[in-house]
Amino acid sequence: MSTYLIGDIHGCYDELQSLLAQVAFNPEHDTLWLTGDLVARGPASLDVLRFVRSLGDSVRLVLGNHDLHLLAVYAGISRNKPKDRLTPLLDAPDADELINWLRRQPLLQVDEEKRLVMAHAGITPQWDLATAQMCAREVEAVLSSDSYPLFLDAMYGDMPNNWSPELSGLSRLRFSTNALTRMRFCFPNGQLDMIAKEAPESAPPPLKPWFAIPGPVAQDYTIVFGHWAALEGRGTPEGIIGLDTGCCWGGTLTMLRWEDGSLFVQPSNRERMIVS
C-alpha cells in the first residue's frame, strides 16, 4: 500500500497513465493525491476527469484555479477560451455528471497521521491550520450548494488581499479561493500579491514566495502544492514540496511516493513551451 502524490495534470491523460504504470499503481491498495488543475491546456481533460472520478475513494484531490474556471465556464459565467481545450469536455454526454462531481471536491486535504497538508497553491502564512480548514470548508460549502453560480460569478478579482477574521460574505470567499488556488507571492507581512507569476529570483522586491515567509502550518506539517510551474519543483524549503513541473507546457509530470520519498517523472508528449 503506497501513497502517490502527483502535480498538476492539466489534461495530460497519456502522461498520467504512463506515470502510474511506472509504479504499477493499483487503486485497490494504493492512494493517489492530486494537487489540482486536472483540466485545461492539455489535450484530454475529459479523459482525465472520467478516470479520476472512477478511482472513487482511492483518490484525494484538491481543486485548482483551472478547475474552478471550468466550473465557471460550464455555468455560463466565464468564456471558453480555445487555448484551454475544454470543448470536448463541455460537449460530452456526461459533462453534467462530471461537473457536479467536480464542484463537490475539496480545496484542502489534511492527513493527521502523515502530518501532511495539500492545497493547490499552498497555505498563506497568515493562516494556522484551523483557519485554513475553516476557510476551505466555507468555499466548499457554497460550491456544492445550489447557489454556486453566484459565488463563481464573484470569485474573479484580486481583492481583498489581506486576511482578517472580520472578512465576510463574497469578499471572504474570494480571499480564501485566491489563497488556496492562485497565490504565489506575498509581501513580508503575508499580504497576497496576485500579479507576479515569474520565478522567485525574478520577482520585484519586496515580494517573496509564500513558502519563504514563516507560517504556523509549515512548522508542524509537510505542505504539498502545485500551481507554480515556473518553480520546476525546485527552490522550496524542507517540508514544503512543489509538484507542478509543467507537463502541459512540455515539461514533465512528477509523482512523489510518500513512504520513501522516491520521485517518478514522465516527460510530456508536447514540445517545450514558455510558461506564462
Residue range 255-270, pLDDT digits in tens: 999 999 999 999 999 7
Share of the chain above pLDDT 70, in %: 98
- Taking only the tens place, the pLDDT of each residue in 81-123 is 999 999 999 999 999 999 999 999 999 999 999 999 999 999 9
Q: What is the DSSP letter of 178?
A: H
pTM listed for this prediction: 0.96
Residue 271 has pLDDT above 80, yes or no: no
Domain residue spans of the chain: 3-267
pLDDT of residue 148: 96
* Residues recorded for the chain: 276
Q: How are beta strands 252-257 and 263-267 bridged, if at all?
A: antiparallel
Angle, to 10 degrees, between the axis of helix 45-54 and the axis of helix 95-102?
60
Q: What is the mean pLDDT of residues 168-196?
A: 97
Instruction: Provide the grid cell at 210.
Output: 509564500
Residues 6+ apart with CB under 8 A from 139: 107, 151, 173, 176, 177, 180
The CATH number fitting domain 3-267, selected from 3.10.20.440, 1.10.620.20, 3.60.21.10, 3.40.50.300: 3.60.21.10
